[in-house]
């Protein structure tokens, strides 16, 4: 088996660029309509991406060991251009924090104690999945790089098959699509953001 390639800050920035370019191609008349599969508008979905990245930046920068009762920035819904700028800003911030943090540092997330690479990978998932939610079903293109998706899968979803297309597999792993030979996960999906050495070898499910 080949050595796993880590998720990097360049992957996060690349994900953000793909997302913002796709958002800018949206028909403005669709901006305040519901995003795919969500009870949020496309505008709110984009704001959520930026919010999530900022929470990750804060937790990692603080090296928090428990939940911080911080309100965060909570971006307001606005124009497509404003949302794109917020996502680029927040991705750049998380990338810089991760680059400046020693690899052995771990910080709190509700699903586990994540290292800098895991925060970068989670950031990629937030951007790619909610970017997809915001533009799928429209004429805006959204086609993430399969190798980038493969790196994210290897870090956060070690149970994912290795012989299927990266993007299709990432959609399956996050409950957004079906994959031949695999159980549909739906809202029960969850990632593994603890160290890979701590994975128990089974497919975890979100407790309800």
pLDDT at site 70:
63
Phi, psi (rounded to 5 degrees) for 34? -65, 140
Domain boundaries of the chain, sorted by first residue: 9-198
**Confidence check: pLDDT of 153 > 70:** yes
**Confidence check: pLDDT of 208 > 60:** no
Nearest to 13 by CA among 81, 92, 119, 126: 92
pLDDT at site 140:
87
Question: 25 exposed, middle or buried (CB, 10 Å; 0-12, 13-18, 19+)?
Answer: middle
pLDDT at site 149:
98
Angle between helices 146-156 and 116-135 (to 10 degrees): 130
Q: Where are the alpha helices (DSSP H) in 73-159?
A: 80-100, 116-135, 146-156
**CATH dotted code for 9-198:** 1.20.120.450
pLDDT at site 73:
58
pLDDT at site 76:
66
Tens digits of residue pLDDT in 76-110: 678 999 999 999 999 999 999 999 999 999 999 99
Taking a C-beta distance cutoff of 8 angstroms, is the pair 50, 87 a contact? yes
pTM for the model stands at 0.94
**Confidence check: pLDDT of 199 > 80:** yes
Tens digits of residue pLDDT in 9-57: 999 999 999 999 999 999 999 999 999 888 999 999 999 999 999 999 9
For the chain, the average pLDDT equals 92
């Amino acid at each position: 088996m080949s050595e796993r390639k880590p998720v990097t800050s360049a992957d996060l920035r690349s994900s953000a660029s793909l997302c913002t370019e796709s958002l800018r191609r949206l028909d403005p008349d669709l901006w305040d309509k519901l995003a795919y599969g969500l009870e949020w508008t496309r505008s709110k979905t984009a704001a959520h991406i930026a919010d999530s990245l900022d929470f990750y930046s804060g937790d990692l920068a603080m090296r928090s060991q428990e939940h911080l009762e911080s309100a965060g920035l909570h971006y307001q819904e606005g124009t497509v251009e404003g949302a794109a700028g917020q996502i680029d800003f927040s991705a750049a911030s998380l990338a810089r924090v991760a680059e400046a943090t020693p690899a052995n540092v771990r910080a709190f997330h509700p699903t586990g104690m994540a290292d800098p690479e895991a925060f970068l990978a989670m950031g990629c998932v937030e951007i790619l999945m909610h970017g997809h939610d915001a533009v799928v079903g429209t004429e805006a293109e959204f086609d993430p790089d399969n190798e980038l998706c493969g790196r994210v899968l290897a870090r956060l979803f070690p149970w994912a098959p290795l012989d299927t297309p990266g993007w299709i597999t990432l959609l399956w792993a996050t409950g957004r699509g079906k994959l031949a030979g695999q159980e549909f996960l739906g809202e029960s999906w969850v990632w593994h953001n603890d160290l890979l050495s701590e994975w128990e070898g089974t497919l975890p499910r979100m407790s309800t």
